[in-house]
Structure 1
Amino acid sequence: MTVAEATPDFEQGRDDDRAFLGHPKGLGFLGFTEACERFSYYSMQTLLVLYMVNYLLVPGRMEKVVGLDWLNAHVYPGLSGQPLASAIFGTYTALVYATPILGGIIADKWLGRNVTLIVGGVLMAIGHFLMAIEPAFLFALLALLLGVGAFKGNIATQVGGLYGPNDLRRAMAFQIFYIFINASVIIAPLISGTLGQKVGWHYGFGCAGVVMVLGLVIYLSGQRYLPAEERRERASNESAVREKLTKDDWVCLVSLLLLIPVLAIALLTNQEIFNAYLVWGDQQFDLTLLNNTSSWLITVDATLSFSMLVAVAAFWKWWGKTRREPDEISKMIIGSVFTIAGGVCLFMAALTQPAGGKISLFWPIMFHLLNSIGFAHILPISLALFSKIAPKQITATVIGLYYLAFFAANAVVGYIGGLYSSLPTTTFWLIHIASASFGLVAFVIFKMVLGKRMTTGPREQAAALS
């Protein structure tokens, strides 16, 4: 495979390159590029359901969308309005977690990370601008899906490539990288969400497209500071001897595979936030404190999620100084309790809504707070668990399988979100409480039945038996 050579300005793994906050200058370019991409993505994520429900999927407009009649007849038969919007959104967000697999294959086999990432950014920008052309709505979603797939999986690998194998700055680099991401998630609804809901939907999508173009400009301008792609020698790959999986490896692998559908169900409440929850908030919440802009609910959620990730990490660090820190599966059990409590807040909001009145923000804010604590105990902890006990020979593959939980969760949310219009709101949120309760029970069973297999990897288990 032919790949680009390193530019004279870049030397991979230079410990003396500290031009950006004590890190290589390339980290700054990658961080701002990722910030622009995540801004554009979460702008789209925030506006999409509201746009479909309140503007596009209404009589007189939806008939003009090319391909929607076929989609409505063969993929979503009989759906219209909010249920159809939730179904389309669920499919879109589910595929967001599948297309990076394709992007990785294209990068590895043909184009390389750099070119694939640039193509992905261009496709995303095109997708955002196509949203201004109502008949091209489905083509816009397709362009965005392919763009995210090409972009998402390839930029993070370049962050690691900035550092040599023994450079201790690598871990902090990824923390800085994620700060860029979280900042974008917080800011995007405030800017694009406000433009979309207060000025015009197309202004919100257009803003996302402009920022994505800006991200591409930043990325291209920093090429000389980015790592060159490694040449892969096919012969050496073919001659490499892969260690066979042991019995303990297989047990760990099967355990993780069984955990994937459990995670998918346990994540339903969290993944519903961009779907029916946002529609409910737009229609029924008293949003006076949020500038009467329902998309700002996403900023509230993102801010609390980021804060609780930091707070939970700090809490367990403090706890571990004097007491034994719980293992990963125990933390996921704790997280499920908080997720259930968050769902109860939504149930109480629906139950106590005054006749003909709006819902106070008290219950929604409590939901975001408690759900964010649950999020901090389940998502990063479950990823750590997968990376910890996955057989070393196939760790990358297992991590890829982990994201199938998000694919499945969003696909199911697309269906369940469609029930919002036909069920009592209290019943709708009871379904989500039940899904979190299922996760809690399943995690407890995993803890009881599999014991140490869920807390130690196969190598450690084998060592303990020897």
Structure 2
Amino acid sequence: MTTSITADAVAKERQPAALPMLFLTEMWERFSYYGMRALLVIYLVNSVGYSRADALAVYATYTGLVYLSPLIGGYLADRYLGRRKAILIGGFTMALGHFAMAFPALLHLALGLLIIGNGFFKPNIGTLLGSLYRENDPRRDGGFTFFYMGVNTGAFLAPLIAGTLGEKVGWHYGFAAAGVGMCLGLAQFVYGQDKLGTAGFIGNKTRLDKADWMHILLIACGMVPLVFAILAVWSAIGPVWNSLPAIAKLLVVIAIIAGLWFSNKLSGKAKTQEPLNKEEWQRIFAILIMGFFVVFFWMGFEQAGGTMSLFADKQTDRHLLGWEIPASYFQAINPLGIVLMGPFIAAIWFKLGQSRFAIPTPAKMAIGMIILGLGFVVLAIAQSEADRVGQVGPLWLVAVFTLHTLGELCLSPVGLSMVTKLAPARVGAMMMGVWYLANAVANYLAGVMEELLKNTGFPLYSFLVASSIGAGIVLLLITPLLKKLMHGKG
């Protein structure tokens, strides 16, 4: 017997039962990541003795690889592991990395474990959530917005807890707190896995068995010798890589990405999967175009953990009633703003979506990029004032973070949702990895852009005003073309 789902029935249907569990899992994972990010640059400068340029270079490499590794993790989950096992492998590996950060001698091992663990975890948690919805499910955007609020609840708590411990008690207490957060996320995911049904498995299983747990623990622990091996190889080839011009490095990265992509395609053929049809390729092309544009957004936005963190530490008067506010606290403004403004923005998108004034996904993202550029207008003025008088008041950064948060709400939740709607199911996690690749490029550029502009005479924040607003305007202009490529799915 067949049944039809009416519009009224869909409207009354609740979100998937697993959504709160995935919310809490992601919340604790983001607590661990943002606790680490809030401390890394100022720790390297104030405790380890890195120069500003070297600390930003480490930040660029770390955050860039954090968003590049999901391309590999998504591929492995799609083909071999399944999303549920990949998430747990990633979580255990990241927990090891955070606890390793508590020991100064293990800095590079810790960063390597965090990068690899994130690669397993990040593309698969969002894709797992997307798999719980039907095609064209009207609940999807609301579910992803709720999920995104989980991300930012963890990101809000991280600078306050890990930041306070790190800056006021001891740096390594702050890093250990991030590790505890990751363990809480793992416990939440394991405890709530019954609500997922068969989602996240290759096959029709509903629970992890002993063999699955053996695989998870062996692979996670195996990441420790793998990182040591990578570090040994890097000690030999690192000087050669560092001597390459930027364009050569970019070409190498593109070659690696292309190799992974074609390997994924050939693997799919070997498993007799149907080839992608014309419409599916057009939808993938739309993802790639929008991924190119979001590079300009995240290149600016991710200044938060780099130059803006140092601006808060060195050029902001943080004294309040005899107490110095930790510099990391400013990074809590963004997630707090998302939690407070997120429901309001989601309601606007929903209301517009039910009317003839519906705004397509590319236009929403373009609006976010323009708002980000306005934030850098404020920051450019604040930097000029700080250069003149030494330090400025904290309200300058409050205003910048608020504008950046509003821009992020216009771009990031709908972008994640868009990938799960447009990507063909058999390459879903892989395409989520490609989406995060744009973040990888952007995060790397965010860390090195100040150094790249050093000899041009072009101030960093003025450059980011032009790149953010300019890219946003171009994306608005090509929105009609993207709508055609999306075939009504965005």
Task: Tell me whether 1:87 sits opposite 2:72 in the alignment.
Answer: no
| Structure 1: distance between partners of 2:96 and 2:385 | 44
| Structure 2: distance between partners of 1:251 and 1:162 | 24
Q: Report what 2:27 is aligned to.
A: 35
Gaps of 5+ in 1: 1-21, 59-79, 462-466
Gaps of 5+ in 2: 1-13, 206-266
| Structure 1: distance between partners of 2:331 and 2:436 | 22
Worse-matched range after superposition: 186-195 or 216-225:
216-225
Q: Report what 1:303 is aligned to.
A: 336
The answer on whether the counterparts of 1:385 and 1:455 sit within 8 Å (CA) in structure 2 is no
| Structure 2: distance between partners of 1:337 and 1:254 | 23
Change in CA separation of 1:157 and 1:436 when aligned onto 2, cut-off 3 Å? closer
| Structure 1: distance between partners of 2:344 and 2:145 | 15
Per-residue CA deviations over 1:89-117 (Å, capped at 9, x if unaligned) read 11111111222232233334444444433
| Structure 2: distance between partners of 1:210 and 1:305 | 24
Q: Report what 1:455 is aligned to.
A: 483
2:463 to 414, 426, 431: 431
| Structure 2: distance between partners of 1:214 and 1:89 | 26
| Structure 2: distance between partners of 1:49 and 1:151 | 24
1:370-409 map, 5 Å: 370-383=403-416, 397-409=430-442
Shift of 1:279: 0.8
Shift of 1:351: 2.1
Q: Report what 1:440 is aligned to.
A: 472
Q: Report what 2:274 is aligned to.
A: 241
Change in CA separation of 1:392 and 1:181 when aligned onto 2, cut-off 3 Å? closer
Code of the residue aligned with 2:464 in structure 1: it is H
Per-residue CA deviations over 1:397-439 (Å, capped at 9, x if unaligned) read 5444332221110111121144699999x92211211221331
Task: Tell me whether 1:100 sits opposite 2:131 in the alignment.
Answer: no
Residue 184 of structure 2: SS of its match in structure 1? Answer: helix
| Structure 1: distance between partners of 2:389 and 2:28 | 41
RMSD: 3.8
1:210 to 180, 185, 188: 180
Residue 478 of structure 2: SS of its match in structure 1? Answer: helix
Worse-matched range after superposition: 152-161 or 183-192:
152-161
Q: Report what 2:158 is aligned to.
A: 188
Change in CA separation of 1:368 and 1:251 when aligned onto 2, cut-off 3 Å? same
| Structure 1: distance between partners of 2:376 and 2:425 | 37
Task: Tell me whether 1:132 sits opposite 2:132 in the alignment.
Answer: no
| Structure 2: distance between partners of 1:291 and 1:312 | 34
Q: Report what 1:329 is aligned to.
A: 362
| Structure 2: distance between partners of 1:212 and 1:458 | 36
| Structure 2: distance between partners of 1:25 and 1:330 | 31
Code of the residue aligned with 1:277 in structure 2: it is M
2:171 to 183, 201, 211: 201
Task: Tell me whether 1:287 sits opposite 2:318 in the alignment.
Answer: yes
2:374 to 341, 347, 361: 341
The answer on whether the counterparts of 1:338 and 1:370 sit within 8 Å (CA) in structure 2 is yes
Change in CA separation of 1:288 and 1:314 when aligned onto 2, cut-off 3 Å? farther
Code of the residue aligned with 1:145 in structure 2: it is I
The answer on whether the counterparts of 1:245 and 1:391 sit within 8 Å (CA) in structure 2 is no
Shift of 1:86: 0.8
Shift of 1:267: 2.7
| Structure 2: distance between partners of 1:235 and 1:455 | 28
Shift of 1:335: 2.8
Change in CA separation of 1:100 and 1:39 when aligned onto 2, cut-off 3 Å? same
Worse-matched range after superposition: 40-49 or 211-220:
211-220
Percent identity for Structure 1 against Structure 2: 32
Q: Report what 1:231 is aligned to.
A: 203
Q: Report what 2:299 is aligned to.
A: 268
Shift of 1:206: 0.9
The answer on whether the counterparts of 1:342 and 1:370 sit within 8 Å (CA) in structure 2 is yes
Change in CA separation of 1:188 and 1:441 when aligned onto 2, cut-off 3 Å? same
Worse-matched range after superposition: 182-191 or 309-318:
309-318
Code of the residue aligned with 2:109 in structure 1: it is F
Worse-matched range after superposition: 264-273 or 332-341:
332-341
Shift of 1:37: 1.6
| Structure 1: distance between partners of 2:167 and 2:453 | 22
| Structure 1: distance between partners of 2:65 and 2:307 | 18
> Which structure has the larger Rg over C-alpha atoms?
1
Residue 386 of structure 2: SS of its match in structure 1? Answer: coil
Change in CA separation of 1:294 and 1:431 when aligned onto 2, cut-off 3 Å? same
The answer on whether the counterparts of 1:391 and 1:458 sit within 8 Å (CA) in structure 2 is no
Shift of 1:159: 4.5
1:68-79 map, 5 Å: none
| Structure 2: distance between partners of 1:224 and 1:112 | 16
Residue 278 of structure 2: SS of its match in structure 1? Answer: coil
| Structure 1: distance between partners of 2:366 and 2:450 | 25
Q: Report what 2:90 is aligned to.
A: 120
2:288 to 234, 257, 269: 257
| Structure 2: distance between partners of 1:47 and 1:417 | 20
The answer on whether the counterparts of 1:286 and 1:359 sit within 8 Å (CA) in structure 2 is yes
The answer on whether the counterparts of 2:36 and 2:175 sit within 8 Å (CA) in structure 1 is yes
1:179 to 141, 145, 149: 149
The answer on whether the counterparts of 2:286 and 2:486 sit within 8 Å (CA) in structure 1 is no
Worse-matched range after superposition: 314-323 or 80-89:
314-323
The answer on whether the counterparts of 1:82 and 1:418 sit within 8 Å (CA) in structure 2 is no
| Structure 1: distance between partners of 2:400 and 2:306 | 15
Change in CA separation of 1:235 and 1:203 when aligned onto 2, cut-off 3 Å? closer
How many matched pairs?
411
Change in CA separation of 1:338 and 1:187 when aligned onto 2, cut-off 3 Å? same
Q: Report what 1:11 is aligned to.
A: none
TM-score by structure 2 length?
0.72
The answer on whether the counterparts of 2:362 and 2:475 sit within 8 Å (CA) in structure 1 is yes
| Structure 1: distance between partners of 2:140 and 2:285 | 32
Per-residue CA deviations over 1:351-389 (Å, capped at 9, x if unaligned) read 233854421122222212222222222333445566666
| Structure 1: distance between partners of 2:92 and 2:422 | 38
Change in CA separation of 1:168 and 1:329 when aligned onto 2, cut-off 3 Å? closer
